C-alpha cells in the first residue's frame, strides 16, 4: 500500500498530483503528515509543498475540470471525513487522467464520493448559517460561538459580511479554536486559544428573552413531533441555540 | 418595544398560518443597509412540533371586526386582544435579524377597525423597515381583502411576497363560513398583483415588485369540497395567477358553537396527500385530472404518483437508460434530483441497479416500475407490488403517522420530501 503524506491544503493536494503524474505513482491513500501514523504494511511518500508545481497543476485542472474545480476541492478539504484528502486527490487525478470535466460521471465511485463529501460540507454551511446565534456586545460587536462538524468558518464569514453590512462580527469555532473577525469591511481568519472578553449590550438580555418567548409561543403544543425536530435540527447544533434549552 | 404579553398573543394567533418560507427572492444588501435574501431561503430553528422558524410570524393585531366561523380571532370569540405599532414590529424584527434568529418578517393581521386602516398599518410597518431601518431581509405580507387597490399595489414594491388567503375552496363555503368576505375581495387583488407583475416585468422595476411572487392558503376539511375540486382550483390558480405556492391547512375545530363546522379534525393524511399532489402539479408535469381517483379523492394507501402508476400499468416498466426525462419524473420514488443525476450519469455509461444506489436513487418504490439494462427486480405481479408499496408507505410514514396527530409534520415531509 502506498500512502502520500502531504500538507493539509489545496497546494498540498496539487503537489501530490504533480508527483503522482511525473513519478507515475498512484497512491492508495493521501494523508495529512501532521496526523499520519506510520504503518508496517504501507510505504509512505512524503510530498513537500512547492507553489510553482502547485500552480502548474492548478492551470491544468482549470483547463480540464472547469472554473469551479479548485473551489470544490477546497470545500472537500474542509470536510471532517477521514478520506477527504484522498477523495479530493482522486477526483483531481481522474480529471487530469481523462483530461475532461468528470463532474457528471456520478456512477463512478470516485466522483460520487467526492460529490457526496462536497455536498455534506455545503449542506452544513447552509444549515449552520441559520443556526448561528449572535449576541451583541456593549461595543456593538456581534459575537457567535459554534462547533461545526466540518471546518466551515471560512465559508460562513463572507455570508455574514454580506448580510450584516457594516456591523462588525466575530464567528468563533470553539472546537478548532478558529476565529473569523470582520470589521464590517473585510474578514480575517486565524487560530486562537482565547475566548473573547464579552460584555453583553444593555438590550441583549431583553431580546434573548423575547426570542425564547417567541419560540415557545409559535410552537403548537398539542402537536408535538420531536422526531421531526431532531431530524431537521440535530441536537448537536442546539448547543448554542439557547431558545431550545430546557 | 413589544412586551412579552402582547408578543405571546400576537404570535399565538399567527402560528396557524402554514407558510414560513423565506425562499424565492434574491436581494443584495445595500450600502448602509442590513440584510439580504437568499433564493433558497433559510431555516433558523425548529420548534418541538417539528416546524421550522424562518420568519418572525406575527399579527399586527388580533382585534378582528369580522366573524369567520373557523377562526380563533373572530369577533365573537372571547380571547385576549392585542395590537402592536409599526415601530414595535420594526424594532423586534431588526433585533432578531441582527442576532440571526430569523430570515425576515411574515406580517399579517386581523381586520382591525377596517380593512383600509389595517392595510395602512401593515404598509407603514414595511415602509419603515425598508426606508428607515434600511432592512433588506425577506418580508412576506398577508394582504387584507377589501383594502384599497392602490395601497396593496404600493405594498407590492416593498415586500418579497404577498398572499391573499383563499380560505375555503368554494364561494358557497366562503359565504357560509366567512360571511364578511367574498370571493372577489380575495381574487381581485390576487389577479391585480399577477397583472402588475406581468406589467412591470419588462421594465427596470421588475425585480422590485414582489420578487418572490404570491401564495395562498386554504382550509381543508371544514367544507365538503373533494380533492379533485381543490386540486383543480389549485391548478387554475397556478396557471392564471402564477402563484408560487398553495398551502393547505387541515381544519382544526376551535369553534363548537356552530353546526356549520364539523366537530372533528379532518384526517391529516388528506392534507399530506394534497401536498404530494400539489408537488406533482408544480414540478412533475401532471394535471389535476390525472392524479385524482374516480371518486374525486386521492388514495390514502399510496402516494399520488404511485396511485397514478398503478392505474397506468401499460406504461411500465421503464428502461432507466433510455427513458425520456418526462417519463423518468413519472416513476414512483424518482424525484427531480434523482432524475437529473440519472440523466447526467447515463451519458457516460449504461446504468444498472448498483449504479442507481451509488447515485443515491431510492429504489424502494422505483424498483417495481423500472428496468436497468433490461433487468427487472420488482414484484412478480400486481397484487405483490401493491402490498410492497403499502409496506413501503407504512414504513416511511411510521414517523409521519405520529403527526397524523400533528398535521404540520405531514406538511413538512411533503414540503421537503420527494415522491
Ligand atoms: S378576518 Fe381573518 S382574523 Fe378575522 S375572523 Fe376572519 S379569518 Fe379570523
- All structural domains of chain A with their residue ranges: 2-123, 132-244
* Strands B52-53, B45-46: pairing kind: antiparallel
At A38-76, the pLDDT tens digits run: 888 888 999 999 999 999 999 999 999 999 999 999 999
CA-based end-to-end distance of chain B: 45
**Residues of chain A neighbouring B100 (CB-CB closer than 8 A):** 130, 132-134, 144, 160
A209 touches chain B (CB under 8 A): yes
Count of beta carbons in the 10 Å neighbourhood of residue B150: 8
Q: Report pLDDT digits (tens) over B37-74.
A: 999 999 999 999 889 999 999 999 999 999 999 998 99
Query: And the C-alpha cell for B220?
Result: 381543508
The CATH code of the domain at B4-266 is: 3.20.20.70
Beta-bridge partner residues of A45: A4
Establish if A171 touches chain B: CB-CB under 8 angstroms: no
Residue with more model confidence, B70 or B198 = B70
pLDDT at B201: 61
Closest CA to B155 of B207, B212, B87, B210: B210
Could B100 and A132 be called an inter-chain contact, meaning their C-beta atoms sit closer than 8 Å?
yes
Where are chain B's structural domains? 4-266, 304-395
The answer for B 28-87 residues in CB contact with A (under 8 A) is: 28-30, 32-36, 40, 42-54, 56-57
Mean pLDDT of B254-281: 86
Q: Each residue's pLDDT tens digit in chain A (246 positions)? A: 899 999 999 999 999 999 999 999 999 999 999 888 888 888 899 999 999 999 999 999 999 999 999 999 999 999 999 999 999 999 999 999 999 999 999 889 999 999 999 999 999 999 999 999 999 999 999 999 999 999 999 999 999 999 999 999 999 999 999 999 999 999 999 998 777 788 999 999 999 999 999 999 999 887 788 998 999 999 999 999 999 997
Cα separation, B286 vs B56, whole angstroms:
34
Contact B355 A162 (CB under 8 A): no
Shortest Cα distance from A161 to chain B (angstroms)? 10
Q: For residue B381, with 0-12 CB atoms within 10 Å meaning exposed, 13-18 middle and 19 or more buried, which class applies?
A: exposed
Question: Ramachandran region of residue A89, left (φ > 0), alpha (ψ -120 to 50) or beta?
Answer: alpha
pLDDT at B378: 85
CA of B110 to the centre of ligand 1 (A): 5
Inter-chain touch B98–A232, beta carbons under 8 Å: no
Do A134 and B47 make contact, defined as CB atoms within 8 angstroms?
no
| Phi, psi for A166 (deg, rounded to 5) | -90, 10
Of A109, A214, A228, the CB nearest to B50: A228
- Give the minimum alpha-carbon distance from B101 to chain A in angstroms, rounded to a whole number: 7
Helix axes A109-131, A69-77, angle to 10 degrees: 70
The per-residue pLDDT for A138 is: 94
Q: How far is CA B28 from CA A101, A155, A164, B315, B316, in A?
A: 32, 18, 11, 47, 47
B348-377: pLDDT as tens digits: 999 999 999 988 898 989 999 999 999 999
Cβ of residue A123 closer than 8 Å to a chain B Cβ: no
Q: Output the pLDDT for position B16.
A: 83
Q: For residue B344, which residues of chain A lie inside 8 Å, CB to CB?
A: 104, 106
ipTM, interface predicted TM-score of the complex: 0.93
What does the longest C-alpha to C-alpha distance in chain A come to?
67
Q: Other CB atoms closer than 10 Å to residue A82's CB: what's the count?
A: 11
Of B34-43, B248-257, B281-290, least confident by mean pLDDT is B248-257
- Size of chain B in residues: 419
Q: Is the pTM of this model over 0.95?
A: no
Residue B399 contacts A where some CB pair is shorter than 8 Å: yes
Amino acid at each position: 500500500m502506498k500512502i502520500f503524506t502531504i500538507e493539509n491544503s489545496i497546494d498540498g493536494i496539487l503537489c501530490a498530483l504533480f508527483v503522482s503524474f511525473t513519478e507515475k505513482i498512484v497512491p492508495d491513500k493521501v494523508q495529512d503528515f501532521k496526523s499520519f501514523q506510520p504503518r508496517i504494511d504501507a510505504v509512505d511518500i512524503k510530498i513537500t509543498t512547492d507553489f510553482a508545481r502547485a500552480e502548474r497543476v492548478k492551470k491544468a485542472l482549470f483547463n480540464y475540470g472547469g472554473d469551479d474545480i479548485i473551489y470544490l476541492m477546497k470545500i472537500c478539504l474542509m470536510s471532517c471525513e477521514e478520506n477527504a484528502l484522498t477523495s479530493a486527490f482522486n477526483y483531481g487525478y481522474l480529471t487530469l487522467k481523462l483530461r475532461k470535466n468528470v463532474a457528471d460521471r456520478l456512477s463512478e465511485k470516485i466522483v460520487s464520493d467526492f460529490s457526496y463529501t462536497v455536498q455534506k460540507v455545503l449542506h452544513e454551511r447552509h444549515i449552520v448559517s441559520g443556526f448561528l446565534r449572535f449576541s451583541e456586545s456593549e461595543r456593538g460587536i456581534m459575537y457567535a460561538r459554534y462547533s461545526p462538524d466540518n471546518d466551515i468558518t471560512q465559508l460562513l464569514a463572507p455570508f455574514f459580511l454580506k448580510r450584516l453590512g457594516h456591523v462588525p462580527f466575530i464567528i468563533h469555532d470553539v472546537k478548532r479554536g478558529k476565529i473569523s473577525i470582520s470589521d464590517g469591511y473585510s474578514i480575517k481568519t486565524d487560530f486562537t486559544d482565547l475566548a473573547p472578553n464579552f460584555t453583553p449590550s444593555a438590550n441583549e438580555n431583553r431580546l434573548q428573552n423575547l426570542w425564547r418567548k417567541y419560540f415557545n409561543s409559535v410552537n403548537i403544543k398539542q402537536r408535538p413531533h420531536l422526531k421531526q425536530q431532531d431530524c431537521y435540527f440535530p441536537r448537536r447544533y442546539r448547543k448554542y441555540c439557547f431558545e431550545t434549552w430546557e | 418595544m413589544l412586551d412579552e404579553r402582547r408578543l405571546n398573543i400576537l404570535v399565538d394567533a399567527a402560528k396557524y398560518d402554514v407558510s414560513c418560507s423565506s425562499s424565492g427572492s434574491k436581494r443584495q444588501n445595500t450600502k448602509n443597509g442590513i440584510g439580504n435574501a437568499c433564493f433558497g431561503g433559510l431555516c433558523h430553528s425548529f420548534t418541538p412540533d417539528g416546524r421550522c422558524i424562518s420568519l418572525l410570524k406575527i399579527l399586527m393585531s388580533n382585534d378582528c371586526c369580522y366573524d369567520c366561523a373557523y377562526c380563533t380571532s373572530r369577533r365573537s370569540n372571547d380571547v385576549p386582544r392585542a395590537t402592536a405599532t409599526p415601530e414595535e414590529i420594526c424594532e423586534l424584527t431588526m433585533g432578531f435579524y441582527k442576532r440571526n434568529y430569523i430570515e425576515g418578517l411574515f406580517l399579517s393581521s386581523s381586520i382591525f377597525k377596517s380593512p383600509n386602516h389595517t392595510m395602512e398599518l401593515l404598509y407603514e410597518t414595511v415602509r419603515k423597515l425598508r426606508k428607515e431601518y434600511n432592512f433588506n431581509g425577506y418580508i412576506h405580507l398577508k394582504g387584507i381583502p377589501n383594502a384599497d387597490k392602490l395601497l396593496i399595489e404600493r405594498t407590492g414594491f416593498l415586500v418579497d411576497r404577498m398572499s391573499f388567503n383563499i380560505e375555503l375552496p368554494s364561494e358557497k363555503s366562503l359565504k357560509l363560513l366567512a360571511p364578511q368576505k367574498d370571493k372577489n375581495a380575495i381574487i381581485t387583488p390576487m389577479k391585480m398583483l399577477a397583472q402588475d407583475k406581468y406589467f412591470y416585468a419588462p421594465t427596470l422595476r421588475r425585480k422590485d415588485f414582489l420578487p418572490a411572487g404570491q401564495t395562498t392558503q386554504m382550509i381543508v376539511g371544514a367544507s365538503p369540497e373533494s380533492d379533485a375540486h381543490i386540486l383543480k382550483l389549485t391548478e387554475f390558480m397556478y396557471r392564471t395567477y402564477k402563484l408560487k405556492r398553495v398551502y393547505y391547512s387541515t381544519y382544526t375545530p376551535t369553534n363548537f358553537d356552530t353546526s356549520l363546522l364539523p366537530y372533528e379534525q379532518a384526517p391529516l393524511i388528506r392534507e399530506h396527500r394534497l401536498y404530494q399532489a400539489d408537488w406533482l402539479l408544480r414540478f412533475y408535469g401532471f394535471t389535476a385530472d390525472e392524479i385524482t381517483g374516480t371518486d374525486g379523492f386521492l388514495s390514502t394507501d399510496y402516494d399520488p404518483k404511485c396511485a397514478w402508476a398503478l392505474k397506468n400499468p401499460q406504461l411500465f416498466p421503464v428502461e432507466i437508460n433510455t427513458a425520456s426525462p418526462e417519463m423518468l419524473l413519472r416513476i414512483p420514488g424518482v424525484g427531480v434530483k434523482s432524475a437529473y443525476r440519472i440523466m447526467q450519469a447515463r451519458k457516460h455509461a449504461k446504468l444498472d441497479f448498483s449504479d442507481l444506489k451509488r447515485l443515491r436513487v431510492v429504489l424502494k418504490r422505483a424498483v417495481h416500475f423500472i428496468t436497468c439494462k433490461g433487468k427487472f427486480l420488482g414484484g412478480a405481479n400486481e397484487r405483490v407490488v401493491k402490498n410492497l408499496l403499502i409496506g413501503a408507505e407504512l414504513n416511511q410514514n411510521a414517523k409521519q403517522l405520529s403527526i397524523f396527530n400533528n398535521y404540520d409534520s405531514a406538511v413538512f415531509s411533503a414540503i421537503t420530501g420527494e415522491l
